[in-house]
Amino acid sequence: MSMHEHGGLSARFAALAPEPFPGSWDDVLDRAGTARTGRQRLKRFRAVPARRRRLVVVLAAVALATALTAAGWAIVREVVLDKGFVGLPPVGATPSAPESGELVIQYRIDTDGRKGTGEARAWVYADGRLITLRRGFLEQRLTPEGVELLRSEIVSAGLEHYQPALGPWIHNVIQVRIGDRLVGYHANFPVRLGKRLADPASWLPASAWEDRQIRAYVAPRYAVKYVALPKTLERSRLLSLLPPPAEDMLRSKDAVAEYGQLGSPAFPPVLLITAYVSDLTTEEARALAQALDEARLKRGKRLGEVVYSFEIPGTSVDPPRPEKGPVRNEVFIFFWPYLPNGESICTQCG
């Protein structure tokens, strides 16, 4: 589903301003807005004071890491892979298998009525995978009986008889496979159904579970989406602003343009924007994130996704009304994981 089908890029980029890491990106700041006459490489920071003391600290850290490698990985596996992680998976994490799967159920429902402070979000596949979004993406395994019990619970609720909910198809949405197609409902669902979908483990029998243990879902691929806001930029210009390793990687990948708008029709004019999307393996996504970290870009982590950003100095653009301006134009780079049904997920949209 495209960003435009979700109601425009503005819905996907709302509340995504990342928390800054300390530091700046002087190389990009120097180059922004000027013609690029050659490849400038980022300079490594060298601090002369206390060099000897830092060397001792580094050697001690290496020794400690060597001594604790096995124990450290065991802790990572127990604390991270069994509890979920925020951002990209750690090195050595095994991707969920198989890579693709047929979607049987998908839901995103509010769990506290109109307060809007809690929700249950899950995807269920014919192969038994139950993927939920809590602190990152988590995975459990149902038996065929468990998949059917969950599907029947939804179908038997008679959702077609409930009053449709107001607003866009973002919250309070259930899709369930009936025959050979997914049927969608957007309504204020019965409380009992909401409670059961929010916690399937509280009512599904033991026979419904192939593996009840909660583990992190490790995506095999990521959609990397980059865009300038509030004033859109064409792809070549965007890439020229990135650190050279990141630019090289994304320029070598195919990209799909996604079109949307920023702002509200109630405050015309809306701003037309274009985002560019490239598919990367998890290993490639990790390498790209490392290049952006080394360039000391602002980085934010939210649930199962990562977002980087930086302002383009020397720019002065008007934001969409009713926001006040002018503001500096800003570049965002999002890492959205793919689920087995081939959908990339923006965890903070809506």
Task: Measure the CA–CA gap between 329 and 186, rounded to whole angstroms.
Answer: 36
Average the pLDDT over each of 33-37, 119-123, 290-294, 303-307 and give the range with the smallest value.
Answer: 33-37
Task: Measure the CA–CA gap between 134 and 154, rounded to whole angstroms.
Answer: 21
Task: Measure the CA–CA gap between 148 and 159, rounded to whole angstroms.
Answer: 17
Q: What is the mean pLDDT of residues 256-271?
A: 93
Q: What is the mean pLDDT of residues 179-200?
A: 92
The pLDDT value given to residue 203: 97
Q: pLDDT by residue (tens digit) across 123-181? A: 999 999 999 998 789 999 999 999 999 999 999 999 888 878 777 777 889 999 999 99
Q: What is the mean pLDDT of residues 266-283?
A: 95
**Mean per-residue pLDDT of the chain:** 80
The pLDDT value given to residue 112: 67
Task: Measure the CA–CA gap between 199 and 183, rounded to whole angstroms.
Answer: 22
Q: What percent of the chain has pLDDT over 70?
A: 72
**pLDDT beyond 60 at 327:** yes
The pLDDT value given to residue 66: 43
pLDDT band at 111 (very low <50, low <70, confident <90, very high): confident
Question: Between these two residues, 347 and 21, which has the higher pLDDT value?
Answer: 347
Sheet holding 129-134, edge to edge: 181-186, 173-178, 103-110, 119-125, 129-134, 136-142, 209-216
Q: What is the mean pLDDT of residues 77-95?
A: 72
Distance (Å) of CA 57 to CA 67, 73, 254, 271: 15, 22, 43, 51
The pLDDT value given to residue 110: 85
**pLDDT beyond 90 at 304:** no
Please spell the DSSP secondary structure of 298-328, one letter per residue. EEEEETTEEEEEEE-TT--BPPSTTS---B-
Distance (Å) of CA 260 to CA 9, 257, 279: 5, 10, 20
Question: Between these two residues, 58 and 210, which has the higher pLDDT value?
Answer: 210
First to last CA, the chain: 15
Question: Between these two residues, 110 and 169, which has the higher pLDDT value?
Answer: 110
The pLDDT value given to residue 305: 80
Question: Between these two residues, 111 and 131, which has the higher pLDDT value?
Answer: 131
Task: Measure the CA–CA gap between 259 and 2, rounded to whole angstroms.
Answer: 8
Highest mean pLDDT among 164-168, 224-228, 268-272: 224-228
pLDDT band at 114 (very low <50, low <70, confident <90, very high): low
- pTM attached to this predicted model: 0.75
pLDDT band at 102 (very low <50, low <70, confident <90, very high): very high
Average the pLDDT over each of 148-152, 186-190, 256-260, 346-350 and give the range with the smallest value.
Answer: 346-350
The pLDDT value given to residue 76: 41
pLDDT band at 53 (very low <50, low <70, confident <90, very high): very low
